[in-house]
Structure 1
Amino acid sequence: MATKTAQGLPALPQAFFARPAEQVAPDLIGCLLVKRQASGELLWGVIVEAEAYCQSEPASHVHRRRSPSNETLFGEPGRFYVYVSYGIHHCVNVVTHRPDWADGVLLRAVALPGEPDRVAAGPAMLARWFGIDRSHDAQPVHPDQGLWIAPRPPELVGLGDADLMQTSRIGISQGQDIPWRWYWRASRSVSRRAKGDRQPPYDELVFLLGL
């Protein structure tokens, strides 16, 4: 896996994102976030946690109004939406569903091959590790832009509902009762586990991907 080229890590098609956020989010678990470095090498990791947000519910950035800062969410699906949280931390989302209806999925955690479990556990740490900032806002999720999402590798294609934990979203003050956060239960790189869900003794990714 670590030696794959860009040709070996194709981007998900735009049609993948042209669905409601709550359908896209669980399907992103196991997919790969990929960034082409200045050297040409690929930095990649497995998405293990994601949250869905929709214009119709109170936790969405656009629930109250459309503004220049959230305009990207109203655009074509299959683009990155990057915002700054608390004036400090960048958070990476992908735009979903359809134009003029603001749906998006927040990437909450990524597991990285050969790195400690939690180096990208949480939106801010994920963005920092991949060097993602506002300059990536509105960019298509495509290799031509140097930052994209690749489909689940063959070893992870079999991931299903039984492998995922569906629970409430975290770090928000409204809409906490909507269960639109999903994470891979076998991963030790999740930002925060649901109450009663114990940390696995080892990370299954290491074995599935042969790392």
Structure 2
Amino acid sequence: MANSPSKHLPQSFFARPAEVVAPELIGCLLVKRQADGELVWGVIVETEAYSQEEPACHGYRRRTPSNETLFGEPGRFYVYVSYGIHHCVNVVTHRAEWANGVLLRAVAFPGEPERLAAGPALLARCFGIDRSHDAQLVHPDQGLWIAPRPPALAALDAADLMQTSRIGISQGQDLPWRWYWRASRSVSRRVRGDRPPAQESWIVSGLVADP
């Protein structure tokens, strides 16, 4: 995969409510530096927001050792294990002492087969993210970060996104706190009736050559 910029989103970007941050993360790049220095990166195409006042949030009932990171300062990764098997990658948002975060649900890899990371578990697997990354700062110095939208995606706005209810949860399904990029074929699950595009046209526009 092509190299990604070393720029990163500042902590102030994450110091806002999850439902504000989540749609703005779409089009940004999740980047990981491998042990050999290679940069693996992909475009975030689907996110979900969670907040302490609603029942689907891990911090809704109480603070525990396993969800402690979610109550911490914004701009850190919160990684948990789902069903005892799958890792899920979140970014802590808003403010300390208040459980708030954004789940990264899907990433598209330009120039690679589509749907490699179409879902939280696949995303974590593709990037090799596990509990060892929990509480880690979202910063290049830590080897795992989120870069701003590249110039090729600068025109992305709300009209390009689909906002819908969250999926894979048993409570809080009424909140429309999931967003995905309609132009991507790597979304984990589309709204019924929203047909996928014929191809990842936003990749063809030049993102592969120079992110």
Q: What band does the TM-score fall into relative to the shorter chain?
A: over 0.9
CA distance in 1, matches of 2:156, 2:3: 23
- The alpha-carbon deviation at position 2 of structure 1 amounts to 1.3
Counterparts of 1:102-181 in structure 2 under 5 Å? 102-181=99-178
CA distance in 2, matches of 1:179, 1:49: 13
Counterparts of 1:56-75 in structure 2 under 5 Å? 56-75=53-72
Please point out which of 4, 18, 23 is paired with 1:21.
18
- The alpha-carbon deviation at position 134 of structure 1 amounts to 0.1
Q: Which residue of 1 aligns with 2:200?
A: 203
CA distance in 1, matches of 2:116, 2:142: 24
CA distance in 1, matches of 2:184, 2:18: 22
Identity, % of aligned pairs?
77
CA distance in 2, matches of 1:55, 1:92: 17
CA distance in 2, matches of 1:46, 1:204: 13
1:98 partner SS: coil
Which shows bigger deviation, 197-206 or 90-99?
A: 197-206
CA distance in 1, matches of 2:193, 2:78: 32
CA distance in 1, matches of 2:206, 2:30: 15
Q: Any conservation in 2 of the 1:156–1:208 contact (CA below 8 Å)?
A: no
Listed one character per residue, the Cα deviations across residues 46-102 of structure 1 (whole Å, up to 9, x for unaligned) are 000000000000100111111000000010100000000000000000000000011
Q: Any conservation in 1 of the 2:76–2:91 contact (CA below 8 Å)?
A: yes
Q: Which residue of 2 aligns with 1:188?
A: 185
Superposition RMSD in Å = 1.0
TM-score (norm 1): 0.96
CA distance in 1, matches of 2:154, 2:119: 24
Question: Does the alignment pair 1:3 with 2:6?
Answer: no
Structure 1 runs of 4+ aligned residues shifted over 2 Å read: 208-211
Q: Which runs of 5+ in 2 are unaligned?
A: none
- The alpha-carbon deviation at position 204 of structure 1 amounts to 1.9
Q: Any conservation in 2 of the 1:75–1:95 contact (CA below 8 Å)?
A: yes
Q: Which residue of 1 aligns with 2:75?
A: 78
2:187 partner SS: coil
Residues 196/146 of structure 1: CA separation in 2 closer, same or farther (3 Å cut): same
CA distance in 2, matches of 1:14, 1:196: 37
CA distance in 2, matches of 1:202, 1:120: 16
Q: Which residue of 1 aligns with 2:87?
A: 90
CA distance in 1, matches of 2:3, 2:40: 10
- The alpha-carbon deviation at position 184 of structure 1 amounts to 0.3
Question: Does the alignment pair 1:50 with 2:43?
Answer: no
Residues 138/210 of structure 1: CA separation in 2 closer, same or farther (3 Å cut): closer
- The alpha-carbon deviation at position 105 of structure 1 amounts to 0.1
- The alpha-carbon deviation at position 109 of structure 1 amounts to 0.2
CA distance in 1, matches of 2:186, 2:202: 10
Q: Which residue of 1 aligns with 2:28?
A: 31
Q: Any conservation in 1 of the 2:110–2:207 contact (CA below 8 Å)?
A: no
TM-score (norm 2): 0.96
Q: Any conservation in 2 of the 1:141–1:149 contact (CA below 8 Å)?
A: yes
Q: How many residues align?
A: 208
